[in-house]
Structure 1
Amino acid sequence: MTLGKVAATNKTSGGVQGGLIPTAPPSYEEATAGRGLCSGGYPGYLRDGEMPAEFGWDDANIRRVFIRKVYAILMTQLFITVAIVAVFTFCDPVKMYIQANPGWYWASYAVFFITYLTLSCCTRPRRQFPWNLILLTIFTLSLSYITGMLSSFYNTKSVMICLGITALVCLSVTIFSFQTKIDVTSCQGVLFILLFVLLYCGLFLLIVLPFGYVPWLHAIYAALGSIVFTMFLAFDTQLLIGNRRYAMSPEEYIFAALNIYLDIIYIFSFLLQLFGSEQE
């Protein structure tokens, strides 16, 4: 979303120019008109909910409130996910039940996919309260179930170690994204290429898997996946912060929380595949 900088050019130091009453600054709707376009001849492709930072909000208070809101939602999502993973990992009856009933996994995957497409592709549902929070809650619960079921197949110690590594990685990337002068948001092309490389590696792994499991190939795939989504975490965090080439609109707090949460879950999943040891 493109949000224009508002400048009252017809005002002098006294507030009046040529004896005329200065016009009022444009409203939010007027300032955001044409937000879907890269206005001003600004090059580049924008995802829905992103905007060039040079057209960003000047009010730092709005950005700070936006960041606090996103991280409050994100912490709630992560708390729910960690709780479900802990139950599925430490509670043996629950672990045995979910492993014996894979249908719940596929049902959760379908719910996750539908809610993700709805929140990512449809602007109205993710901005309309309370439907945005309801959809985000369903999305979080479904992805938490998927993550918890995958974790139940791994050794408890491995799950705890990977949770710790994920927390350290996310903390380091967040501090880096806040402090660095490197603009990760300008590297969309690199991330796009790496994502396709990861996709092709996954497809190749699926083709090879029926002929025999190749541990080193799976390790390469998991390492590449963890690196790619760590970079995506830095990208999405800088979109949230602003003051870069692209920034996230303060209206898109659901979209921002969804992206960062998904990055963290993918990092944990790939680290679990890379370092986790399966239960005997």
Structure 2
Amino acid sequence: MKTRTVRRSRLVPHTVDGRTEMVLDHYDVEAPTPPRDWDRIVLTAVTTIAGLIGAACIVWSTASIGDLLARVVTPPAAYAAAVVFDLAWISCMALEWLARYDQARARLPRRAGFAALAVAMGAVGVHGWLSGWLVIGVVGALVSGLAKGLWTVVLAHHAKPLDDLTQQWVDAQRARAGGELAMVSVRRELARARAAVDAEEETLRRTPDPTPDTPEDEADAPETPELPTVSGPMTIADAVRTALSSGISNPDAVLRYVRKVADANAKEESVRRTLRGARSAS
């Protein structure tokens, strides 16, 4: 059995000048060497090959489609647009890789990837046909098809579909997390709306009167008698006499004063009768 030297560490007490501290002690042990994981090595090699083929496919398609588009636009713009044809289906494959545990979510990017691949292969074939080399155009189009086919097989090997019950549990957890994430945006929106309302109300409270009273207006305004202060409990009659002595003679004003200082439920007829009696007595 093959072995290998493995360095490990452990805490040991170490004393210097009477003070003990726990320090790391490094030591070597002989551990069995695990066998090579040839499955992982082969899968890594195939994935690397697929990546190299994808890069070569991008170069070939870009050169072919770029030359096709350069017939009507400037070469820089033509080749920049040509890159989009292959990057579209490669991006769809990346999304399919991210959804490798959820076949339902991977279905849409897989179909979109094949649609984008068909467009790219058609463009390469058209370039060969217009150049007078239809066979070369067909063969060149197959380069993208082979790259996509290889990546489809690799992604299928990497995919780990979940069973139905586990998939439902994952969907429920994803929906709950998505709802919480959506509520963050909703709460932020509500906070902005409340802040705008508070600012508007604060502005309205602090806005001065657009037509303030001028000294001339104050001089022309009729003088309003100042209500007398209350020094203790008062009856309706006392309140009526106090109002008259303070210059309040309007029956409605007297009624309001009586209800304020004497009896909040004072009847209007009683107050008016008391007011007439107070006037006749004076």
**TM value normalised by structure 1:** 0.26
Higher relative contact order (CA 8 A, sep 6+): 1
The structure carrying a bigger strand percent of its residues is 2
